[in-house]
Amino acid sequence: MANSLNPQEQLALIYENLQEKLKEDLIEDIVLNQQRSLKIYWGTATTGKPHCGYFVPMVKIAHFLRAGCTVKILLADIHGFLDNLKAPIELVKFRAEYYQFVITSLLRSLNVPIDRLQIVFGSSHQLTAEYTMDLFRLSSVVTEHDSKKAGAEVVKQVANPTLSGLIYPLMQTLDEQYLDVDVQFGGVDQRKIFTLASESLPKINYKERAHLMNSMVPGLSGGKMSASDPDSKIDLLDPPDVVEKKLKKAHCAPREIDGNGLVSFVEYVLLPVNGLRTGGKGTFVVEKRKSEDGEPLVYDDIAVLKADYEADRLTPQLLKSGVTQALVNLLRPIQDDFRISSSWQEVTNKAYPPAEVKKKEKKVKNLGTRFPGTKSGVETKPDGHIEGAQKAQADLGTGAKEAMNNLDIK
């Protein structure tokens, strides 16, 4: 498709549905004047299991590929370990492999060409002597305050942070140089790291890059969609009944657009994905219940959908029903890939081993020193015998006659 797009059309597709752009003049010079393939990288730390929120960057990556860009996806395995040990070092390798299976399947399901796509593991260049030396150089020109500020919305914040959280933004900055790209792409939550990269790379004699940012889709509970919060997300491998159950409980206030995760999901995922799959303008269909009159609601313009929702023509119940059906269809080819891939299944068990269920230890009953018939300073054992400093005074003996003599019974 890229060959059929002129430079202006390529630029429009690159910018479609983005929330923010930094140094777009660099992008426009490459696309409009140099007329060469724009080189873009998107990175993700390989920590928790990817969820449906990953469709948002994948849609934009699909746009980049359709526009003739060269895209590198960085599976940041080392970053996953640095971010407050979210990924134990023993599992880092397997989780990176799991992400590779997921992302490849995601893009394949979007019906986009992947001949200009390259998947790179961070450890392939981040452990070299040259990279380490550049990391030292970068650390000499970036203050602790600036690095901490840059990672505030990305690196997990704790009361007593480790130094690894300060290294994280520096490595993400340096990856722009080592991946040899023109642009770094990410969510708007990455803005402070992008700003740090723009300001600091020229200080160690590397060129400044442009940055593109997509919107953050709210989670099902209203906040950020997060792999660590099961109530905020839908996993890519969740079966239809689980998808339906989670969406029924999703925060979806009537007539409210702001902070509505389902409306945002239609805007940034369902409409553009349908367009990518059909090669035309995306549509979102809401089937009405049998008890309701009228034709299905069909939307190809998010502004119309938002207006209908605010007018309560599109109710939360109808929206949830439409999103459920569309999402189940969207996940089906990915889940089919998983079912037929023994390698993917095997690496899943290694990357995310099930938590061990600890067996409850059976407590041995101890009659203790307060058991009837005992005296202070002795302890009755499970088999009935007693021990302690005053054993001689409390012990009645082993036979009835001896016991009666010890009790002084006449």
pLDDT, tens digit, for every residue of 65-106?
Answer: 999 999 999 999 888 877 655 567 778 889 999 999 999 999
- The confidence score (pLDDT) of residue 198 equals 97
Rounded to an integer, what distance in angstroms lies between the CA atom of residue 302 and that of residue 305?
A: 5
Rounded to an integer, what distance in angstroms lies between the CA atom of residue 394 and that of residue 189?
A: 73
pLDDT in tens, the chain (410 residues): 555 899 999 999 999 999 999 999 999 999 999 999 999 999 998 888 999 999 999 999 999 999 999 999 999 988 887 765 556 777 888 999 999 999 999 999 988 888 899 999 999 999 999 999 999 999 999 999 999 999 888 777 666 777 888 898 999 999 999 999 999 999 999 999 999 999 999 999 999 999 999 998 887 876 666 555 666 789 999 999 999 999 999 989 999 999 899 999 999 999 999 999 888 889 999 987 655 667 899 999 999 999 999 999 999 999 999 999 999 999 999 999 999 999 999 999 999 988 776 666 666 665 555 555 544 555 666 555 666 666 555 555 555 555 555 545 45
Q: Where are the alpha helices (DSSP H) in 70-216?
A: 77-82, 92-109, 123-126, 129-139, 144-150, 164-178, 191-200
For 143, 247, 284, the CA distances from 324, given in Å and listed in that order, are 47, 7, 12
DSSP H or E segment with residue 260: none
| Most distant pair of Cα atoms in the chain: their distance | 119
Confidence (pTM): 0.81
As given in the structure block, the two tokens for residue 115 are 């001949």
Three-state SS at 171: helix
Determine phi and psi for 239, rounding to 5 degrees: -70, 165
Residue 70: DSSP 8-state: E
Query: pLDDT tens-digit profile of 217-249?
Result: 887 876 666 555 666 789 999 999 999 999 999
